[in-house]
Amino acid sequence: MLSDIDEKNDQLDVAARLLGLLGQTATEPRPDPQLAALTLAVAADLPVLLWGEPGIGKTAALTQLAETLDLPLTSVVASVHEPSDFSGLPVLGDDPARQGVPMAPPDWAVRLVRAGRGLLFLDELSTAPPAVQAALLRLVLERRIGALRLPPGVRIVAAANPRASAADGWELSAPLANRFVHLQWVHDHEVVVRGLGGTWPRATLPRLDPERLPSAVAHARRAVCELLAARPALVHRLPSDETRRGGAWPSPRTWEMTLRLIAFATAADCDRDVLSLLVRGTVGDGPGLELLASLDRMDLPDPETVLADPAGAVLPERGDLRQVVLDGVVAAVRNRPDRARWDAAWAVLARALETGAPDVVVVPATTLATLRQEGWDVPGTVERLAGVVTLSRRADRSAARAAERGAGVRVGR
């Protein structure tokens, strides 16, 4: 018979096997914008800060990322360390007056340097007191800890809970916040359900096209510089609110980070949703949305190119961008009017009517009609467009009458 001790050990072995089975999971390629944004920022060697409620899966995502990229994971809980753990501990030598006092790094930093690569995970950043946050500045920006410098193969990712849900939380200091790409980490219930079933999304580094690298850099520089030339107030805008200072806001440093992210996203042909998360997480929502709109306009076809080949023109799918292109075509005819260009513009509007929503054609068609000069015959395509314009005007008049009736009812009450 087994003794009580042997029986308990046997049960512990069974429990260990069960735990092992529970820990066996697989990964699969699955579209996940926030995971794609994280991996692209990691590839671009920019510090990333994941914001999310406790238990949302930030640590699990970092663990899975490290495993997929085959990077040793070093986790450091910032709130349980002293400032000297990041700035280095002074070590007295034989002759401090001549040799100085070197700052000894902690053991985890030494291990990272020896490995030459790895993922440094700074957890619970929002519970780190101001003195520790100040000590982290040099680590995050210059990658220095004491006398050591982290090698290029080491990437830095941090995680934080909003102050309201953090244990003894602090607002992130503006200098430290301005060194990170801020990503809001939220859960997708389908991802969670499938993951609990044993299959999680796979984190993969973006595939950079070597042929696109020079054009990607030129594209990124043009996008950022054109926006800041037109909007100089966006170069540096420190938020007045303490909470917003702890997030993403524009500065020369974050614009440089944004330029790098755009170049990487362009070279990897990333989805626009991924780029949106990264840009807004670096310079903030307002400036980020302005930059994204500027990028959209940069990708639009030149009106003269469209007029030169109306039949082969590729018009944007999005209605707002299509409207911009059509307005640009009409403006080009207004600036240099002649019969052939006027006819070509009508052909472009007819193509837009065939391939998209008719409402975006109404205003350009009405404006183009006013540019007709004496002796210019009306092209046959106008007949197809005339019905759209007439129907739109009738709808506008009906809406106006309905609004007037509604106003009369309210006044009568």
CATH hierarchy code of domain 30-89+101-201: 3.40.50.300
Task: Return the sign of the alpha-carbon dihedral for residues 312, 314, 319, 323.
Answer: negative
Structure tokens belonging to residue 193:
């359900």
Q: Match 């006013």 to its residue by tokens.
A: 370
Give 256-301 pLDDT, tens digit per residue: 999 999 999 999 999 899 999 999 999 999 999 999 988 888 878 8
DSSP 154: E
| Closest C-alpha among 295, 381, 308 to residue 341 | 308
Using the predicted structure, report yes or no on whether residue 401 has a pLDDT greater than 60: no
Q: What is the pTM of this model?
A: 0.77
Return the percentage of the chain with pLDDT > 90, whole number.
32
Using the predicted structure, report yes or no on whether residue 391 has a pLDDT greater than 90: no
Beta-carbon contacts of 85 under 8 Å, excluding residues fewer than 6 positions away, are 106, 135
Structure tokens belonging to residue 349:
């509007």
Mean pLDDT of the chain: 84
The predicted model gives 220-237 an average pLDDT of 93
The predicted model gives 374-403 an average pLDDT of 60
Cβ neighbour number for residue 218 with a 10 Å cutoff: 12
| 126-154 exposure pattern, b = at least 16 Cβ within 10 A, e = fewer | bbbeeebbbbbbebbeebbbbebebeeeb
The predicted model gives 66-79 an average pLDDT of 87
- As a whole number of angstroms, the distance between CA 182 and CA 281 comes to 4
Give 131-157 pLDDT, tens digit per residue: 889 889 989 988 988 778 999 999 999
- As a whole number of angstroms, the distance between CA 161 and CA 163 comes to 6
Give 166-201 pLDDT, tens digit per residue: 556 688 899 999 999 999 988 888 888 888 888 888
The pair phi, psi for residue 258, each rounded to 5°, is -65, -40
The C-alpha angle with vertex 288 and arms to 57 and 261, in degrees rounded to 5, equals 70
Contact between 281 and 181 under an 8 Å Cβ cutoff? The reply is: yes
Beta strand spans in 161-295 (E): 181-184, 199-201
Structure tokens belonging to residue 87:
């700035």
Using the predicted structure, report yes or no on whether residue 410 has a pLDDT greater than 90: no
Return the percentage of the chain with pLDDT > 70, whole number.
85
Beta-carbon contacts of 267 under 8 Å, excluding residues fewer than 6 positions away, are 206, 208, 209, 212, 213, 216
Confidence band of 396 (pLDDT split at 50, 70, 90): very low
Gap between the terminal Cα atoms of the chain: 92
Structure tokens belonging to residue 47:
């510090």
The predicted model gives 217-244 an average pLDDT of 92
- Give the start-to-end residue ranges of the domains of the chain: 30-89+101-201, 210-298, 303-412
Using the predicted structure, report yes or no on whether residue 411 has a pLDDT greater than 60: no
